[in-house]
Amino acid sequence: MELLIGFGWLSFMLVIGIILRYKVSFFQNMLIPSSAIGGVIGFILINTGVIQVSIPLLQTFVSQLFIISFISIGLTTSEGSNGLNSSNRTSKVVTKGVLWFALAWGLMVNLQALIGIVSINGINLFGHSLDPKYGILLPFGFAMGTGQAITYGTVAEDYGFSNAASIAITFAVVGYMIATFVGIPLARWGIRKGIASKSEKLSEELLKGVLPKEKRERVGDLTFHSSNIETLTFHLAVIGVVYLVAYYSLNGLIQILPPKIATFVGGSLFIFGILWGTIFSKTAKIARIDHFFSPGLQKSITGWTVDFMVVASFMSVSFRSIQGYVLPIIIITLIGGIVTTVVCFYLGQRVGSNYDFERSISFYGLVTGQVPNSLLLLRIVDPRFSTPPILEIAIYNSLLPVTLLQIFLGFAPIIWEWSVGRSVLFYTGSIVIYMILLKVCKLWGPKTFSMMGSSESKPLSDQPVPRN
């Protein structure tokens, strides 16, 4: 009963968010997703006692929906190359962009962790006594999003960091707001200054978030006869099967790992989910039953999990749990937000292509919010998704080993109980290594655009991504 009541409140807030987005011009102009609108309202109602929903239950919703979203991503089959292999020049441009995303993201993760530690150290000079390593949670909220924030915040609690889950999810929510209230004005600024090369007037359906009848799109194909089973039922059932396989395989691995590593790996069910989802998808293709799946419907299921995860993330922030950490959170997120914004566009200006602004703005959404924020910001400056960054984001997000390595390294000071000094040296050294790699890979050169609108230098020409 409690589970369904909680789901009901999440649904109610989403519906309220949808209506407000459709009716209120402020939300339309800011392009705030309905899930964020509903989540903010839910946060206020819960923390003022108007509605009664268990915070741990909401945090469970976030973590489990995150896992399900990764399983669904793994099960999603490709519907085409999207023009990636249409020309050698386009392929080289995209490869360059993907490499930049990987290196720049790794740099930002370490930089945000360093900011978190140094900020708390500074705060402690004025009488506070918070463990500086709480600052390590900043990139798990900013650069990794709500799902990984709650996942690894919970893992941090297992290592003795009380209320880490609440702090991490607060970082994620603040990051999401930065991606919205700073990212969207920056995108619009780029359009006004003429540095967004493919911008168009924002359509009414994008502003209101509702498609008119004549522009409605299909969610997917019915792959089963209704006399047998509903197509949606099959897709949800496969997700359930993959969840079971992922859960038991993870538990089996934990049994043979050293305790310290086992605690960390125990929070990695989402990784096993996407791996097993991909295996199931490939196996279905080999067995020639991949026609059972509807890629469009599978993507819609992924979107469903993300929408509910976002509203649950906002509502799961308990002011009571974080009230002793309010000042550190404000200072860390303020400094982290400013530095992330400056460094993001500093690096983005120097990749060396005609679409560096589009790449910068989409990357900004990635390192402050999550992938939907990245796609939203890119869509504002490139409504037709005709520039290389759309493919670069997709390919980058499939580079799971790169992400896993950085997650483990980013969490290492907590796992191995390093001193603050050693942690600072580790993150500083990692930043230097990423900077060197950007230089060596020729991804850090002269400026290609200015936020003031003037052209700095003419880079090698990129080609728009062909659309099928």
Same domain, 173 and 30: no
State the pLDDT at residue 435.
Answer: 97
Q: Which domain, by its residues, includes 33? A: 1-53
Residue 91 lies in a domain: yes
Token code pair at residue 98:
């993907």
Taking only the tens place, the pLDDT of each residue in 402-456 is 788 888 999 999 999 999 999 999 999 999 999 999 999 999 999 999 998 755 5
Same domain (yes/no): 141, 234: yes
In a domain, 259, yes or no: yes
Residue 465: partners with Cβ closer than 8 Å, 6 or more residues away: 82, 83, 84, 90, 94, 385, 386, 387, 388, 390, 391
Q: What is the pLDDT of residue 460?
A: 47
The reply to whether 62 and 44 lie within a common domain is no
pLDDT on residue 110: 97
Tell me what pLDDT residue 52 has.
92
Q: Are residues 3 and 65 in the same domain?
A: no
In a domain? residue 60 = yes
What residues in the chain have per-residue pLDDT under 70? 77-90, 398, 454-468
Q: 257 and 157 in one domain?
A: yes
CA 395, CA 101: separation in Å to the nearest integer?
10
In a domain, 348, yes or no: yes
One domain for residues 247 and 324? yes
65 and 47 in a common domain: no
Q: What is the pLDDT of residue 468?
A: 44
**Residue 446 lies inside a defined structural domain of this protein:** no
| Same domain? 181 vs 36 | no
Backbone angles phi, psi at 130, to 5 degrees: -80, 140
Is 420 inside a domain boundary? yes
Asked whether residue 36 falls in the same domain as residue 165, the answer is: no
Cα distances (angstroms) measured from residue 381 to each of 65, 208, 301, 357: 30, 17, 26, 9
Residue 383 · residue 199 · CB < 8 Å? yes
Does residue 119 form part of some domain? yes
Q: Clarify whether residues 191 and 267 are in a common domain.
A: yes
User: Tens digits of per-residue pLDDT, 226-271?
Assistant: 899 999 999 999 999 999 999 999 999 999 999 889 999 998 899 9
Within a domain: 96: yes
The pLDDT of residue 82 is 47
The Cα–Cα gap between 242 and 371 comes to 23
Total number of domains constituting the chain: 2
* 167/29 same-domain check: no
Q: Could you tell me if 171 and 312 are in contact, meaning their C-beta atoms sit under 8 angstroms apart?
A: no
In angstroms, the CA 13 to CA 2 distance is 17
Considering the domain architecture, whether residues 71 and 8 belong to the same structural domain is answered as no
